[in-house]
A and B are shown apart, each in its own frame.
Chain A
């Protein structure tokens, strides 16, 4: 390598470091903002916890053909839903608000790289998903005797299901954030489809009791696979054969579908996100 390419290389490296360190700074700011807006924290955390406690308290019996209680069964489902909502609802809403209240425009005029802004958002989503999982799992273990995964393979499954779930949720949150026509409408726009997914993906209603055609439809979306993956980790082995459709969690298919969502979502996110700047090929950008 000659000196010029060396310099070029080190400039690129510096830029890369700047993107990452500024991304970490953004993540820190996002977290501070989230933790200080108490309404948002309470709303985000309290809703799934309340649902979990309610479900567990109202339905005290066990699921057909297993000794799994409703509280135990619902814990992995609500964890899966919360992981998805961290990106699909929280991230998408916060970005839609920032697109409309001028934050994005302000940042677009600073040298902050767009990649750092997005990295901050993704890390915030990850932190939120971790926080919600810890809280819900604690409630599940304390109130409903949910077994913490002990085997190495269960922990590994939990790891990849969680990471793929957060990644899919985050990229889709970014892609969807440009849909609402105002910041205020964002929460209204994102909540109904999320609720719909929860009903058909085996979160609120046992997946086996959902009509096969609706199950097939749910299979196109990440939540069905995220929920099955979480059940495989937290429910006893007997549950799979007794209460899953076809007697299987179909983890391999789930990994494939989630992976595809991450890839497609990433491509969509890159196209949808313009950081408040107009793109040369698309002049139809809304006035920010």
Chain B
């Protein structure tokens, strides 16, 4: 692969884009270093695709400064596009082609493509070369999507929800492949709304909500930041959540009898809980008591909730 320099691959500052009705981007900053895997995480309509399309040079920004591979993507030319790759889902118009025809055609568009055998090996496509695209399974198709994204030997690869709709085993295979690309020096920017994808893949994560970055940092920091623990347990019926003593604080009902508390001091909370439980006439109505760090899901849902409450008064 070609030489990488140490300056950031992507720098974006104060990028705005409005579509009206509050959608769009409201001043997004983003820096991506070489050979990093960066995830842009956010709910649907948060502006993930808009941001990525601005970085790819498909879309214009209203304001702000963007440099991708040392170039403003608004003036993207063939040279720029020969240095980026994008993994998009195949449309149905390609159904009649074979895998090898698709690969050969795409590789012809690039000035310095990877050797075909390398792409075929990397994505394990050897046995599929003569298959029509229409006959491929979901996972095989996605492997071809990725192959088409990297066939031009990109320095920067954009992945749009790479494992949506795939079964768990295939997802893991795809994650391994993406990880291998990054290990070989390719910088990867991926959008997703799957937390496990972020957890498995991303070195750094950007949480984008309503067009603004609400959190940014190493993926592991997403759960560490909150600083509190979660006490989770199951209530044995007929005991209900409303029977819990108010001194424990505000409980979160995860399902009809699964309860959780967020606290900075799990010890005293558990002590109070057990004291109450032991006083119950029919014995302690508590099962499966766990104390743990909040999961990535908890952290993300908290971010979503905070962003939602903050935007409420304005709406």
Binding site for B on A (CB under 8 A): 22, 25, 29, 32-33, 36-37, 94, 97-98, 101-103, 105-113, 276-278, 280, 283, 287-288
Contacts and interface: CB of A to CB of B under 8 A. Distances in A.
B60 interface: yes
Given A109-B81, A278-B59, A33 B96 contact: yes
Contacts of A98: 91, 93
B101 A32 contact: yes
Interface in B70-97: 74, 78-79, 81-82, 84-86, 88-94, 96-97
Given A106-B86, A276-B58, A278-B58, A22 B96 contact: no
Contact of B74 (A32, A102, A280, A283): A280
A103 B78 contact: no
Contacts of A112: 109
Given A109-B84, A111-B78, A280-B74, A101 B93 contact: yes
B93 A22 contact: no
A133 to B, nearest CB: 24
Contacts of B84: 109
A25 B81 contact: no
Contact of A33 (B74, B79, B81, B97): B97
User: How many interface residues does chain B have, given as a range?
Assistant: 20 to 34
B205 to A, nearest CB: 24
Given A110-B109, A111-B78, A105 B94 contact: no
Nearest to B89: A102
Contacts of B109: 22, 107, 110-112
Q: Which 8 A-B pairs have the closest CB atoms?
A: A101-B91, A36-B96, A111-B78, A112-B109, A109-B86, A110-B109, A111-B82, A103-B91
A107 B82 CA distance: 12
B155 interface: no
Contact of B105 (A25, A36, A111, A278): A25
A106 B58 CA distance: 11
A111 B89 contact: no
Interface string B45-79: 00001000000111110000000000000100011
A170 to B, nearest CB: 18
Contacts of B92: 101
B106 A110 contact: yes
Contacts of B148: 106
A37 B132 CA distance: 12
A283 B78 CA distance: 22
A232 to B, nearest CB: 38
A105 B88 contact: yes
B74, B82, B108, B148 — most chain A CB neighbours (10 Å): B108
Given A29-B105, A276-B58, A111 B94 contact: no
Contacts of B57: 277
Chain A CB within 10 A, most for which of B57, B59, B91, B110: B91
B101 A283 contact: no
A105 B58 contact: yes
Contacts of A280: 60, 74
B78 A113 contact: yes
26 contacts: A22-B109, A29-B97, A32-B96, A33-B93, A33-B94, A36-B96, A37-B96, A98-B91, A98-B93, A101-B91, A102-B91, A106-B88, A106-B90, A106-B148, A109-B56, A109-B81, A109-B86, A110-B152, A111-B79, A111-B109, A111-B110, A111-B152, A276-B58, A277-B58, A280-B60, A280-B74
Contact of A278 (B60, B91, B93, B108): B60
Contacts of A278: 58-60
A111 B109 CA distance: 6
A25 B106 CA distance: 10
Nearest to A29: B105
A35 to B, nearest CB: 9
B111 interface: yes
A107 B56 CA distance: 12
A94 B74 CA distance: 28
Contacts of B59: 277-278
B26 to A, nearest CB: 17
